[in-house]
């Protein structure tokens, strides 16, 4: 077996991973798994090999990402030793590189310092990412670690898409649109290959959700902005708001900056509209039972996706293909149907494509190793 690349993809309460090796000129996961429910009594972790020789799943309380990583590392070492398959690199998904890190790169002390300086651009995402990188470098010492940024795919955005209508000095400070879910979008471009038409809109719909307009495979616009809180409403994120709403809340709702951050990231979106649920499956079930709040949340979400697709069709001068991905996009026929309702006049095809973020990270790491 050739040399493996470990990929770590962390979420707020989960840690997905895979060990990738090359076959037929591309990356393939021979070992994959995840830790779910980190910090909860209902936590669990699982790992399986692509050849079926190893498959384990256990319920286990993991207090932190560090605990989850250590448990994964212990099991992983046994499999690597048994198959004489040494790791040659570790790849990390990093949501935001800030204004100065827009290319995937090896993680050096200087890169980590730049990421620490970028924390104000992603205060909810970068601190846990940096902590996990430190722990992974301790556990998997002696091999290079690489940062792969969700923002990198959107480097092709034209200035008209990146600039906010604010004084130029703010753009110089990095207050611009970066876009996210780039590793997902890039993986879909790879999957479609020659079948990717010129004018495509990809809807990555999950707990975090965004859309991207692609012209000849390049990102030309995307719904998320300077942070992953922008764009369409999401599970617990507000999406775009009238700036006057935030000013009003600062003045009249006794909210400070931290309170606003909590509101727009954790207490808004589908959860707020439905008065409780942020899971689309639960909302659809409630809606089918006649729950008006759940029906409103679903309607707001699907309408926002449909409106964004329409806007991107105008930007692209027409539309050839709509791609659905992400947990909701891949698995909810009801949401896809509601989004597509009213878009038939575009004459665009539509299809579902599973995102392969970990595989895309492995591709970048292998390229960086040989560069």
Residue 204 is assigned to a ligand binding site: yes
Answer whether 205's CB lies under 8 Å from 324's CB: yes
359 is in an annotated binding site: no
Q: DSSP assignment, residue 346?
A: G
Q: Are strands 4-10 and 321-325 parallel, antiparallel or unpaired?
A: unpaired
Tell me whether residue 16 is annotated as binding: yes
112 is in an annotated binding site: no
Consult the annotation and say whether 284 binds a ligand.
no
Report d(CA 215, CA 217) in Å as an integer.
Answer: 5
Radius of gyration of the chain (CA): 21
Is 224 labelled as part of a ligand binding site? Answer: no
Q: Is 93 marked as binding a ligand?
A: yes
Pick the closest to residue 143 from 93, 87, 92, 104 (CA basis).
Answer: 87
100 class by beta-carbon count within 10 Å (0-12 exposed, 13-18 middle, 19+ buried): exposed
Coil/strand/helix, residue 240: coil
Q: Is 331 annotated as ligand-binding?
A: yes
Does the annotation list 14 as a binding residue?
no
Q: Annotated catalytic residue: which of 26, 109, 134, 150?
A: 150
Strands 14-23 and 105-106: unpaired
Look up residue 117 and give its two tokens. Answer: 């300086």
Check whether 357 is labelled as a binding-site residue.
yes
Q: Is 327 annotated as ligand-binding?
A: yes
Alpha-carbon dihedral sign for residues 212, 213, 219, 222: negative
358 has binding-site annotation: no
Strand partners, 48: 32, 55
Residue 281 annotated as binding?
A: yes
For 76-138, the three-class secondary structure string (H helix, E strand, C coil) is: HHHHHHHCCCCEEEEEEEECCCHHHCCCCEECCHHHHHHHHHCHHHCCCCHHHHHHHHHHHHH
* Residue 195 appears among annotated catalytic residues: no
Q: Is 329 annotated as ligand-binding?
A: yes
* Annotated binding residue 330: yes
Can you tell me the distance from the alpha carbon of 145 to that of 123, in angstroms, rounded to the nearest whole number?
22
Nearest to 224 by CA among 173, 170, 279, 161: 161
DSSP 150-212: TTGGGGG--HHHH--SS-HHHHHTT-S-----HHHHHHHHHHHGGG--SEEEEEEESSSEEEE
Known binding-site positions for Mg(2+)? 9, 357
Known binding-site positions? 9, 16, 93, 204-208, 279-281, 327-331, 357
Known binding-site positions for substrate? 93
Known binding-site positions for ATP? 16, 204-208, 279-281, 327-331
Give the catalytic positions in this structure. 150
């Amino acid at each position: 077996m050739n040399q493996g690349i470990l990929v770590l993809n962390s979420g707020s309460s989960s840690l997905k991973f895979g060990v990738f090796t090359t076959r037929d000129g591309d990356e393939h996961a021979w070992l994959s798994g995840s830790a779910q429910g980190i910090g909860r009594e209902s936590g669990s972790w699982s790992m399986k090999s692509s050849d079926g020789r190893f498959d384990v799943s256990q319920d286990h309380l993991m207090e932190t990402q560090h605990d989850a990583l250590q448990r994964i590392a212990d099991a992983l070492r046994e499999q690597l030793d048994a198959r004489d398959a040494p790791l040659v690199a570790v790849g990390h998904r990093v949501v935001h590189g800030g204004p100065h890190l827009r290319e995937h790169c090896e993680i050096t002390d200087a890169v980590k310092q730049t990421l620490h300086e970028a924390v104000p651009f992603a205060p909810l995402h970068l601190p846990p990412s940096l902590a996990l990188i430190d722990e992974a470098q301790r556990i998997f010492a002696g091999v290079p670690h690489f940062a792969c940024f969700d923002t990198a795919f959107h480097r092709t955005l034209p200035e008209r898409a990146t600039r906010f209508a604010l004084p130029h000095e703010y753009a110089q400070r990095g207050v611009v649109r970066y876009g996210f879910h780039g590793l997902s979008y890039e993986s879909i471009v790879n999957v479609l290959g020659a079948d990717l038409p010129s004018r495509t809109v990809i809807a990555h719909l999950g707990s975090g959700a965004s859309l991207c307009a692609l012209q000849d495979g390049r990102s030309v616009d995307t719904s998320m902005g300077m942070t992953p809180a922008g764009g369409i409403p999401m599970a617990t994120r507000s999406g775009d708001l009238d700036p006057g709403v935030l000013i009003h809340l600062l003045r009249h709702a006794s909210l400070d900056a931290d309170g606003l951050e909590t509101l727009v990231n954790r207490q808004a979106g589908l959860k707020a509209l439905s008065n409780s649920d942020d899971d689309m499956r639960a909302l659809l079930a409630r809606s089918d039972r006649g729950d008006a709040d759940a029906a409103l949340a679903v309607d707001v979400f699907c309408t926002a996706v449909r409106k964004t697709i329409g806007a991107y069709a105008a930007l692209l001068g027409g539309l050839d293909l709509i791609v659905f991905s992400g947990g909701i996009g891949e698995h909810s026929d009801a949401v896809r149907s509601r989004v597509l309702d009213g878009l038939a006049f575009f004459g665009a095809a539509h299809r579902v494509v599973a995102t392969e973020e970990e595989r895309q990270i492995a591709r970048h790491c292998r390229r960086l190793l040989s560069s």
